[in-house]
Structure formats: structure tokens, C-alpha cells
Structure 1
Amino acid sequence: MNVLHSAGRTLGAVNRYLKGVLGEDSYEKYLQHHVGTGCAVAPMTVKEFWRDKTDRQDKNPEGRCC
């Protein structure tokens, strides 16, 4: 049982790492930041967030290789 628990923790850590590298956790980070700032405006929906993010990347492509 201890081996399975350790393997599960390792896989969970790898999953969190990959989500961070690929940017999949960006919306969760945005929500945490939004709540932390105490902003009175409702946060963007998932769809609005990703549209805004891709629009900003298209306007400022210096952070991408292609």
C-alpha cells in the first residue's frame, strides 16, 4: 500500500509540473490572483480567459518561438 501511495504522489507531482509547463493551470492561477486582489468585478469565464490570453499572445508574439 505504501508503494501505491508513493507512486500516486509522484504521478500527481508530475501532472502538476506538466500542467505548469504547458500553461494548463493558467486559469486556476488567474482565479487565485483575482480573489487575492479583492476585485469587485466578477472574474472572466474560462472561455473569456482563454480568448483574452490568446489575443494578448497574438498581439505580443515575442514570447513564442514560431
Structure 2
Amino acid sequence: MRSALRRAISSVRWYVRELTDESAYDRYVAHVGADHPDTPAPSRREFERMRTDRQEKDPRQGFRCC
């Protein structure tokens, strides 16, 4: 019973993280580690700042009212 409950909770947690894009940083760190091993990965704060800056520069990303 506990095993099934743990799996269910784990699945819900995974789904919510993917839905809210909370796992984007983890995917980015894995990418940097695999493709650019000599480059240090940015902190989560730096990553979120880079991502926000990139979204604000691109008008298709939705930072406008209409």
C-alpha cells in the first residue's frame, strides 16, 4: 500500500513540476554537464534571470497585454 502511495505522490510531483516548468533548471544543468563539461552551471537565480531576459526580448513569449 505504501509503495503504491509513494509512486502516486511521485507521479503527481513529477507532473506538477513539468506543468509549471519547475524542472527546466534541472534539465539545463544536465545539458550543461553533458554538452559543456568545462563550463560551470549557473545558479538557479542566474538561470531564471537569463530565462526571463530571453523571454522579454522575444515578443512571441507573451510579455505583452494583447
Task: Tell whether the structures are fold-level matches, with TM greater than 0.5.
Answer: yes
CA drift of 1:38 comes to 3.2
CA drift of 1:63 comes to 3.7
**Do the aligned partners of 2:17 and 2:23 also contact (CA within 8 Å) in 1?**
yes
- 1:19-59 alpha-carbon deviations (Å, 9 max, x no partner): 01101011100000001103422111111100000111111
* Structure 1 Cα separation of the partners of residues 40 and 16 of structure 2: 29
Q: Which residue of 2 aligns with 1:24?
A: 22
Q: Which has the higher contact order (CA 8 A, sep 6+)?
A: 1
Where does structure 1 lack aligned partners over 5 or more consecutive residues? none
Identical aligned residues as a percent: 27
The ranges of structure 1 where at least 4 consecutive aligned residues each deviate by more than 3 angstroms after the TM superposition are: 63-66
Q: Which has the larger share of helix?
A: 1
Where does structure 2 lack aligned partners over 5 or more consecutive residues? none
- Residue type at the aligned position of 1:54: T
1:54 aligns with 2:48: no
Q: Which residue of 2 aligns with 1:4?
A: 2
**Do the aligned partners of 2:32 and 2:39 also contact (CA within 8 Å) in 1?**
no
TM superposition score normalised by structure 1: 0.82
Q: Which residue of 1 aligns with 2:35?
A: 37
